[in-house]
Amino acid sequence: MTKVLLVLSLCVAAALAAAQPASPDWGELSAHQQRVLAPVSGEWNRFAPAHKARLLAMVPLYDQLAPAAQQRFTVRLKTWAELTGEQQDLARQHWQRLQALPAAQRAGVLAKLQSAPTASP
Amino acid sequence: MTRHPIPSSDIDAAGLRALQLALLVLGDETAAVVALRDTLRVMATKYALDIKETASPLFQRLLLRQVRRARWRQRLNALLPDLLAAIVPPRIETMAPGTLETLQLEHGDGRPAWQAQASGGRLVQESLRLLPARQRTAFWLLHVESLPLRQAAQALARTRRGVRRDGARAVAMLTAILALKGCPVAGMAPEAVARDAAMALKNLRPGLASAWATARHDPAAPARHNAAVTWRRLALGHPLGTRLSLLATLTAALLLGLSFAWPRADQAQTRADVQLLAGDVPLSVLLDPRFDEAAND
């Protein structure tokens, strides 16, 4: 009985250990992934596993972008990766609100906010 | 190969031995009858085994499993009274001697040999109760059921070496107790002591005949063979079957847990994030504290 319990405990421990999300280091990424995620190469190894998974999921979508969009993506990626979860949520909400606005109103909002510099990133 | 019909007396002998083992472990005739009846029912309904196969190691395995479950039920039922007794101990603790201490064998000329006496059988029975479960079952299968070592190991899902070792330890302990009770076992070969002990136990079996008749009353008709029965019998028949099944279940649970725990990025959100990052709106605008004010104007 003791042995059975020991084996069960080991299995549960192994299951818990294996259930931890994979967290690949920078060196374990493919060359293509490294090229797309190059802006965050310096910080990559200290990112949380879930954060790494989100960034890795962006790589195939990046390939479908136009070259100009890819360039914008690369420029903003480092800033985006350093934002807190709350800041990212706020940016998503604002972006969705902008998408929902009529084109003229959207252009007006952008003009108003870009006219004066702010302290925000 | 033709299969010869198994005489009813052989089935009865196997049933009586099974009942005696259940009684030995459970110490209660009603519980032993229920365990044996459950074994016969499970044997028929889940494994499509007939009562004629009570002599097979598979039956032993099923019996031991049912006896173990009955023992757990007994322990659970006794849990509350035991806890209460631990909290409120009895005022007067009785120090009555146990059955093993009070059992006396008749020695001397003209007296039957110890293994032929009723008290000899009870002495072996009480001695076996003292043994750890592994040693007791190893002794039982090797010397009472007379199974070959390979089949005994199969029935217990253990290695032959382990079963042989536990059987030898059981015989050594039995020899020591019998010697203390004045039985002439000193210097005898372990096999001879085990044979005499098995013979002594046999003398107790006629008293269990009515209980066995109750246990085998109206056995369920064997189920028809199908794939599920085949797999169950395969798992039951293989020494590692149960363990492999357990391992397979654990692996499946592990993979299932892994699939849930694996960080799967929300596809819709990832797509939205990529559009946001690649779009024509700078992040500074999206994070501007005046955004709400500007959007509401």
Q: Which of A12-16, A50-54, B3-7, B178-182 has the lowest mean pLDDT?
A: B3-7
**pLDDT at res. A121:** 45
The answer to whether the CB atoms of B288 and A120 lie below 8 A apart is yes
Q: Which of B207, B219, B208 is nearest to B39 (CA)?
A: B219
Q: How many helices (DSSP H) and strands (DSSP E) are in chain B?
A: 15, 0
Residue bearing the bigger pLDDT, A92 or B157: A92
* ipTM of predicted assembly, 2 dp: 0.78
**pLDDT at res. B265:** 57
How far, in Å, CA of B17 to CA of B201, rounded?
9
Domain boundary assignment for chain B = 8-91+100-244
Taking the C-alpha atoms of A11, A16, A21 and A24 in order, what is their torsion angle to the nearest 10 degrees?
-60
Q: Average pLDDT, whole number, for chain A?
A: 81
Residues from chain B contacting residue A118 (CB–CB below 8 Å): 284, 288-290
**Residues B262/A22, Cβ–Cβ less than 8 Å:** yes
Q: Average pLDDT, whole number, for chain B?
A: 84
User: Residue A54 pLDDT > 90, yes or no?
Assistant: no
pLDDT, one tens digit per residue, over B206-262 is 888 888 888 887 666 677 778 888 878 777 777 666 677 778 888 898 888 877 666
- Under-50 pLDDT residues of chain B: 1-2
CA B162, distance to chain mean position in Å, is 16
Residue A2: which pLDDT band, with cuts at 50, 70 and 90? Answer: very low
pLDDT, one tens digit per residue, over B24-53 is 999 999 999 999 999 998 888 888 887 777
User: Is residue B75 within 8 angstroms of chain A, CB to CB?
Assistant: no
Option in A21, A54, A80 nearest B270 (CB): A54
Q: Give the tokens for residue B108.
A: 């001397």
pTM of the predicted model, to two decimals? 0.58
In chain B, the residue whose alpha carbon lies closest to the alpha carbon of A115 is: B285
Q: How far is B232 from chain A (nearest CA, A)?
A: 21
The answer to whether the CB atoms of A113 and B280 lie below 8 A apart is no
Residue bearing the bigger pLDDT, B134 or A22: B134
User: Residue A13 pLDDT > 90, yes or no?
Assistant: no
In chain B, the residue whose alpha carbon lies closest to the alpha carbon of A94 is: B286
The answer to whether the CB atoms of A53 and B278 lie below 8 A apart is no
How far, in Å, CA of B182 to CA of B123, rounded?
12
